[in-house]
């Protein structure tokens, strides 16, 4: 049995699902960020496997587009993580917690 | 095309981004001496003039290998975004100057506005993603820039929701790319135009994910969770920027992706996305208005009101998908009037809360005797948000509803009925706030007036609301010209 597009999509779908579950269920801000990173990496895997396998590409298409996209995703994810961690530190300094259930000045 | 010509095509955005660098460096070189406020305004005027140059010199077409396109649609939003940012910056002077983070505030506003202008003219999934994230990340920082407890909390919540929705959006992009084999919107449109039923399911999956990601930017239910918290917790100038410029850019890119990329009325998936936006619109109006009924904090109230207003625009999006010919122009016109209205309301709130030291509706009691100008502008804008003639909001709602009815679908007429009922509900909380301003006894006797520049932009916004309401034709024809590009 050879490994094909479907296998890669299945793996990335599962990883994405785990990421969503982590991001939605964890109450710790840092853990939510870890979930987001999983989601983004699943996206990268999807992009790369489509880029490698997809039948939609004709002879004139640039299959490299997917690879380029991944580089952009990685860069943006790094920027986002940097800001997110800075904000988590700011909140921690003020409130001594990054538990989202206890960060609750703003509600209703 | 030479390198200069490529850069010329993204000129307005470049001017704003370079301006941001200049503001930052000016503060580094001459700490607390340079007028960062003035520099920011110069950059915005520069961006405006560059966009005007594009419009008058007939610059158009794709550049940077089709990553961006200069057209009437992009220019319409460039003007809206730059004017809105200008007004916000003018009104923020009292708040920002004298703060330690003044340079960061101005620089980040410029980065965010520049990327929004780029977003409105981007024509490729990669450009869209990068521009969208650049504006978002700048806004995450802006929300927490005051470094107080509430701002930090708002910023963290905004960021976490934003990061999750960006990842969902990207997953959708990955599917669109995988199915169509290209990231260019035109290429995707070609693919959708010739695709058969077999690709319907993966395409649906792709565009549901994309809509979920954009729903966050547009603040449509069920992706609205961050709105009330961020509106209440973030500094008011930042919120006013989010509520007008960011929202306009969000709807701009949704129109571009769904209309150009996935095909407006007439492709085999357009019915699906009409229904999807219809459901989101109805939910947004109902939840937004229901949430607003109970609020005592003006910023939180405006937050819920902005969710309901996004629902109104959602009716327009559904009409566009159902094939209404006046739908796209209706959406653009609504966004234009909404920006003017919300700017007026928010600048009035900035000016009032600076002096009142509070955001409680109860503290606005008798505002009309304490600061007549602020009160009058606020009342005009609230009337417009409700949709009462002769204000711009009335014409805008009429136009959107008309577009939905013209599409000729029974369920769209039902959606309009939901919209009309919700207008009635929203009148309750807008009028309640107005009654407090006019009828109630002031808590304190001293009067106040905002800074001259703030008065200027406030009056400009209030006048715009009235003038568009009485003479809507110029803005309508501008919206029609911009919408014609998408067809």
Please say whether the beta carbons of B336 and B481 come within 8 A.
no
Q: What interhelical angle do A29-53 and B149-180 show, nearest 10?
A: 10
CB B81 within 8 A of CB B44: no
What three-state secondary structure class fits B234? coil
Q: What is the C-alpha to C-alpha distance for residues B382 and B375, in angstroms, rounded to an integer?
A: 10
Question: Is A93 buried (19+), middle (13-18) or exposed (0-12) by CB count in 10 A?
Answer: exposed
Contacts of A91 in chain B (CB under 8 A): 152-153, 156
Tell me the C-alpha distance between B315 and B327, whole Å: 9
Q: Which residues pair with B63 in a beta bridge?
A: B68
Give the minimum alpha-carbon distance from A34 to chain B in angstroms, rounded to a whole number.
11
Lowest-pLDDT choice from A99-103, B273-277, B392-396:
A99-103
Most confident segment among B24-38, B295-309, B473-487: B295-309
| Cross-chain residue pair A69–B171, CB shorter than 8 Å | no
Cα torsion angle, B140, B144, B146, B147, sign: negative
Q: Domains along chain A?
A: 5-95 (1.10.287.3510)
Give the other-Cβ count within 10 Å of B470's Cβ. 12
pLDDT of residue A57: 57
For residue A56, pLDDT over 60 is answered with no
- pLDDT class for A62, splitting at 50, 70, 90? low
Alpha-carbon distance values, B425 to B251, B273, B335 (Å): 24, 27, 21
H or E segment and range at residue B62: strand B61-63
- Tell me what ipTM this predicted complex has: 0.93
pLDDT at A60: 53
From CA B64, how far away is CA B51, in angstroms rounded?
18
Mean of all residue pLDDT scores within chain A: 86
Name which of A43, A56, A106 is nearest B180 (Cβ-Cβ). A56
Average pLDDT value over all residues in chain B: 90
Q: Which two tokens stand for residue B41?
A: 């305004």
Which chain A residues in 18-77 lie under 8 Å from chain B, judged by CB atoms?
A: 19-20, 23-24, 29, 32-33, 35-36, 39-40, 42-43, 46-47, 50, 54, 56-58, 61, 65-66, 68-69, 72-73, 76
- The 10 Å Cβ neighbour count of residue B294 is 11
- Residues paired with B297 in a beta bridge: B360
- Give chain B's length: 487
Task: Name the band, by pLDDT with cuts 50, 70 and 90, for residue B140.
Answer: very high
The neighbour count for residue A98, using CB atoms within 10 Å, is 20
DSSP per-residue string spanning B97-123: TTSTTHHHHHHHHHHHHHHHHHHHHB-
- Residue B287's alpha-carbon distances to A13, A24, B139, B219, B309, in angstroms, are 31, 21, 25, 12, 11
User: Which chain A residues have a beta carbon less than 8 Å from that of B129?
Assistant: 69, 72-73, 76
Q: Which pLDDT value is given to residue A55?
A: 61
What is the average per-residue pLDDT within B386-391?
Answer: 90
Facing B183 at nearest CB: one of A35, A65, A88: A65
Token representation of residue B96: 């920002």
CA distance B53 to B32: 34
Q: What percent of chain B has pLDDT over 90?
A: 60
**Residue B440 region, left (φ>0) first, then alpha (ψ -120 to 50), else beta?**
beta
Tokens describing residue A107: 């509600």
Q: Do B232 and A106 touch (CB under 8 A)?
A: yes
Choose from B11-15, B195-199, B481-485 the range with maximum mean pLDDT.
Answer: B11-15
Under an 8 A CB cutoff, do B174 and A47 touch?
A: yes
Q: How many CA atoms lie within 13 A of B398 on its CB side?
A: 13
Q: Which of A57-71, B31-45, B470-484 has the lowest mean pLDDT?
A: A57-71
Residue A103 with chain B: CB contacts under 8 Å? 153, 156-157
> Which of B194-198, B263-267, B412-416 is predicted with the least confidence, judged by mean pLDDT?
B263-267
State the Cα–Cα distance between residues B320 and B403, nearest whole angstrom: 8
Is B152's CB within 8 Å of A94's CB?
A: yes
Determine the pLDDT at residue B341.
95
| Confidence band of B447 (pLDDT split at 50, 70, 90) | confident
Which among A58, A82, A106 is the top mutation candidate for probing chain B, defined by the most B β-carbons within 10 Å of its own β-carbon? Answer: A106
Q: Which residues contact B368 (CB under 8 A, 6 or more apart)?
A: B375, B376, B437, B438
């Amino acid at each position: 049995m050879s490994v094909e597009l479907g296998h890669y999509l299945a793996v990335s779908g599962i990883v994405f699902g785990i990421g969503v579950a982590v991001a939605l269920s964890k109450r710790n801000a840092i853990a939510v960020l870890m979930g987001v990173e999983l989601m983004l990496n699943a996206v990268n895997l999807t992009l790369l496997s489509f880029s490698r396998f997809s039948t939609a590409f004709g002879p004139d298409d640039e299959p490299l587009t997917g690879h380029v996209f991944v580089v952009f995703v990685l860069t943006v994810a790094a920027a986002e993580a940097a800001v997110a961690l800075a904000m988590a530190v700011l909140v921690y300094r003020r409130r001594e917690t990054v538990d989202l259930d206890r960060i609750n000045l703003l509600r209703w | 095309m030479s390198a200069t010509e490529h850069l010329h095509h993204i000129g307005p955005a470049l001017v704003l981004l370079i301006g941001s660098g200049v503001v930052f460096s000016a503060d580094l070189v001459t700490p607390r001496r340079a007028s960062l406020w003035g520099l920011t305004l110069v950059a915005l005027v520069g961006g405006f003039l560059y966009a005007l140059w594009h419009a008058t010199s007939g610059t158009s077409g794709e550049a940077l290998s089709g990553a961006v396109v200069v057209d009437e649609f992009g220019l319409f939003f460039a003007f809206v975004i730059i004017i809105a940012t200008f007004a916000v910056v003018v009104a923020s002077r009292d708040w920002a100057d004298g703060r330690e983070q003044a340079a960061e505030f101005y620089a980040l506003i410029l980065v965010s506005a520049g990327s929004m202008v780029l977003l409105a003219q981007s024509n490729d999934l990669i450009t869209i993603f990068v521009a969208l994230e650049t504006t978002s990340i700048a806004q995450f920082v802006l929300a927490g820039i005051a470094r107080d407890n509430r701002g930090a909390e708002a910023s963290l919540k905004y960021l976490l929701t934003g990061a999750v929705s960006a990842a969902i959006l990207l997953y959708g992009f990955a599917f669109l790319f995988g199915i169509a084999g290209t990231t260019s919107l035109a290429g995707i449109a070609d693919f959708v135009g010739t695709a058969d039923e077999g690709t319907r399911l993966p395409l649906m999956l792709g565009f549901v994910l994309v809509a979920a990601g954009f729903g966050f930017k547009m603040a449509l239910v069920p992706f609205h969770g961050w709105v009330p918290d961020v509106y209440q917790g973030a500094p008011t100038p930042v919120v006013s920027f989010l509520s007008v410029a960011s929202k306009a850019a969000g709807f701009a890119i949704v129109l571009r992706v769904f209309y150009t990329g996935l095909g407006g009325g007439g492709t085999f998936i357009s019915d699906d996305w009409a229904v999807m936006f219809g459901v989101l619109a109805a939910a947004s109006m109902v939840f937004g208005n229901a949430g607003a009924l109970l609020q005592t904090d003006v910023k939180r109230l405006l937050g819920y009101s902005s969710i309901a207003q996004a629902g109104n625009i959602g009716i327009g999006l559904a009409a566009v998908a159902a094939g209404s010919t006046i739908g796209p122009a209706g959406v653009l016109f609504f966004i234009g009037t909404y920006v003017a209205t919300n700017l007026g309301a928010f600048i009035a709130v900035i000016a009032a809360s600076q002096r009142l030291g509070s955001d409680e509706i109860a503290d606005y009691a008798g505002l009309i005797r304490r600061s007549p100008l602020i009160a009058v502008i606020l009342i005009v804008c609230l009337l417009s948000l409700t949709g009462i003639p002769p204000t711009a909001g009335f014409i805008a709602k009429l136009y959107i509803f008309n577009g939905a009815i013209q599409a000729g679908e029974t369920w769209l007429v039902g959606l309009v009925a939901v919209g009309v009922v919700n207008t009635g509900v929203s009148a309750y909380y807008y009028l309640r706030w107005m009654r407090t301003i006019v009828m109630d006894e002031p808590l304190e006797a001293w009067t106040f007036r905002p800074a001259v520049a703030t008065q200027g932009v406030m009056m400009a916004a209030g006048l715009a609301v009235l003038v568009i309401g009485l003479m809507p034709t110029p803005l309508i024809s501008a919206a029609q010209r911009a919408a014609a590009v998408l067809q």
